[in-house]
Chain A
Amino acid sequence: DTGVSQNPRHKITKRGQNVTFRCDPISEHNRLYWYRQTLGQGPEFLTYFQNEAQLEKSRLLSDRFSAERPKGSFSTLEIQRTEQGDSAMYLCASSLQGEQFFGPGTRLTVL
């Protein structure tokens, strides 16, 4: 399977805990995006990498959120001190220049 993969698919955590998600993009794609989707809404942009450089962050991305793409391949998104409002689907997408290809997402539930 050469699509975008994300792990884990589901994560349940208690408020205050840290969580980390992983995204493996399509191998030749240099652009990588993280989005967040809540119920009844479309995906909202969080951050963007071109190769290993994080070039843009949304104001939605509070200082509890950090993302990395250390070797320009896979990426991780960490949320520290999770809050109930962080419960959402976290989507990763990759592209060259045209359409973005999405992974299946990681559904986070913060209790």
Chain B
Amino acid sequence: DQQVKQNSPSLSVQEGRISILNCDYTNSMFDYFLWYKKYPAEGPTFLISISSIKDKNEDGRFTVFLNKSAKHLSLHIVPSQPGDSAVYFCAAREGRDSSYKLIFGSGTRLLVRP
């Protein structure tokens, strides 16, 4: 039972264009969402997060959008750069869970072509 789903295993985008990575979730108790980026042979690196009380959070080239009614979030990268090529994981946590453990999706591999 996957509570966090990333249905696109891969995405290829031209440098300078927008990359849109999508994530769906099923657990309505999730109240905090995060995106991590992972390069080979490294651990995941935190990118950006959003609380369920917001619908948008922006940090430089990265923007995360949250649609609670659709249980959907997306990460926009504008403009995309070759260095953004990595695997991107969406993660979520339940507010009532005091451990704050994260539930991850299976990841989307982004390739930004020069």
Query: A99 and B105 in contact (CB under 8 A), knowing A42-B89, A48-B99, A104-B41?
Result: no
How far is the CB of B30 from the nearest CB of chain A, in Å? 14
Q: Is the CB of B42 within 8 A of A100?
A: no
Interface of A is mostly: strand
Q: Is the CB of B104 within 8 A of A101?
A: no
Quick check: is A19 within 8 A (CB to CB) of the other chain?
Answer: no
Q: Which candidate, B11-19, B44-52, B54-62, is the interface stretch facing chain A?
A: B44-52
Q: Is the CB of A4 within 8 A of B102?
A: no
B99 touches which of A40, A56, A99, A105 (Cβ 8 Å) = A56
Q: Is the CB of A99 within 8 A of B43?
A: no
Q: Is the CB of A40 within 8 A of B106?
A: yes
Q: Is the CB of B49 within 8 A of A91?
A: no
The contact size tier of chain B is 20 to 34
Query: A42 and B106 in contact (CB under 8 A), knowing A4-B43, A91-B43, A104-B43?
Result: yes
Quick check: is A43 within 8 A (CB to CB) of the other chain?
Answer: yes
Contact with A along B1-20 (1 / 0, CB 8 A): 00010100100000000000
Give the docked Cα–Cα distance between A108 and B106 (Å). Answer: 20
Give the docked Cα–Cα distance between A103 and B105 (Å). Answer: 19
The contact size tier of chain A is 20 to 34
Q: Is the CB of B100 within 8 A of A97?
A: yes
Contacts of A101 in B (CB 8 A): 46
Give the docked Cα–Cα distance between A17 and B94 (Å). Answer: 37
Give the docked Cα–Cα distance between A99 and B42 (Å). Answer: 17
Q: Is the CB of A42 within 8 A of B105?
A: yes
A31 touches which of B34, B44, B49, B100 (Cβ 8 Å) = B100
Quick check: is A21 within 8 A (CB to CB) of the other chain?
Answer: no
Quick check: is A33 within 8 A (CB to CB) of the other chain?
Answer: yes
